[in-house]
Amino acid sequence: MIVYKPLGIIKAITFDLDDTFYANWPYIVEAEQHLREFIAEHYPQAAHYDSADWLAFKKQALEEDPALRHDMGELRTLTLTKAFVNCGVSSDKIPEAVSQCFDTFYHKRSDFSVDKSIHKALRKLAKRVPLVAITNGNVNVKQIGIAKYFTHVLHSSKSRRMKPHSDMFIEAARLLDLRPNQILHVGDNLEKDVWGATQAGYYSAWFAYDRDMVLSRETVRTLPHLQLQSIAQLKKVLKGQKQED
């Protein structure tokens, strides 16, 4: 562990999910491929679309409603809708087609298990302080087996903007009934997580599951309070504090 800045008393911890507890990108790639295979089998009218086509539909949806960039689920739903309209799927069948495709992707996207070491660390931490998940993505925490550790799980949306915006940090503090400076946020992204948390008045810890943690390779807007070698080190952080009444 590297301590860059001093910590105050920590009464709760918020966590990012993607690339903090698991390497996210391989699961997204696998889910995208699975979705294309599903579309080719069940909706052959859309089987000819390639990556550029899907990107074009996505860009069109974002141009029409820029706030969709904060809601991955709704953005995917509208992207699928545009694709099916464009290839001639009848209007009465489009809602069912979109629903089936979204459910197929969403299930596959969360079809993995989190490492046992993460489970062990979260289980021990949850006995000490409340834990809240704050994510820009839409992984299903129940499906991947970690929902039980969190008092709340916040996903970004059109009304709850993505990190580094402060929306989810503010909401988490309200739900916890704590001041921001009583909460430590842990995440892999030095802008979205560390800088976002710092701007919201939180303490911050940097931990990336998916890559080597070398500051010179990262975009840094502010240093975290801590750089962790493992999530388990947080137990030592809490143990070393003299909690206030």
Least confident of 21-25, 84-88, 237-241: 237-241
Residue 73 confidence (pLDDT) above 80: yes
As a three-state string, the secondary structure of the chain is: CEECCCCCCCCEEEECCECCCECCHHHHHHHHHHHHHHHHHHCHHHCCCCHHHHHHHHHHHHHHCHHHHHCHHHHHHHHHHHHHHHCCCCCCCHHHHHHHHHHHHHHHHCCCCCCHHHHHHHHHHHCCCCEEEEECCCCCCCCCCCHHHCCEEEECECCECCCCCCHHHHHHHHHHCCCHHHEEEEECCHHHHHHHHHHCCCEEEECCCCCCCCHHHCCCCCCCCEECCCCCHHHHHHHCCCCCC
pLDDT tens readout for residues 77-120 = 999 999 999 898 888 889 999 999 999 999 999 999 999 999 99
Least confident of 47-61, 145-159, 199-213, 229-243: 229-243
Lookup: tokens for 129:
């302080």
Q: Which CATH class is domain 26-109?
A: mainly alpha
Q: Is the peptide bond before 164 cis (omega within 30 degrees of 0)?
A: yes
Q: Which residue has better confidence, 243 or 87?
A: 87
Residue 241 confidence (pLDDT) above 90: no
Please compute the mean of the pLDDT values over residues 15-35 and round it to a whole number. Answer: 96
pLDDT number for residue 242: 63
Q: Do 2-22+115-239 and 26-109 have matching folds?
A: no
Identify any residues that bridge with 135 across adjacent strands, giving them in sequence order: 155
Q: How far is it, in rounded angstroms, from Cα 164 to Cα 149?
A: 24
Residue 243 confidence (pLDDT) above 60: no
Confidence of residue 145 (pLDDT cuts 50, 70, 90): very high
Residue 152 to residues 82, 107, 200, 241, Cα–Cα distance (Å):
33, 21, 18, 24
Identify any residues that bridge with 125 across adjacent strands, giving them in sequence order: none
Domain boundaries, the chain: 2-22+115-239, 26-109
pLDDT tens readout for residues 121-136 = 999 999 999 999 999 9
Name the percent of the chain lying above pLDDT 90: 89
Name the percent of the chain lying above pLDDT 70: 98
Confidence of residue 245 (pLDDT cuts 50, 70, 90): very low
pLDDT tens readout for residues 168-227 = 999 999 999 999 999 999 999 999 999 999 999 999 999 999 899 999 898 888 999 999
Please compute the mean of the pLDDT values over residues 229-238 and round it to a whole number. Answer: 95
CATH (residue range 2-22+115-239): 3.40.50.1000
pTM of the predicted protein model = 0.91
pLDDT number for residue 90: 84
Q: What's the mean per-residue pLDDT of the chain?
A: 94
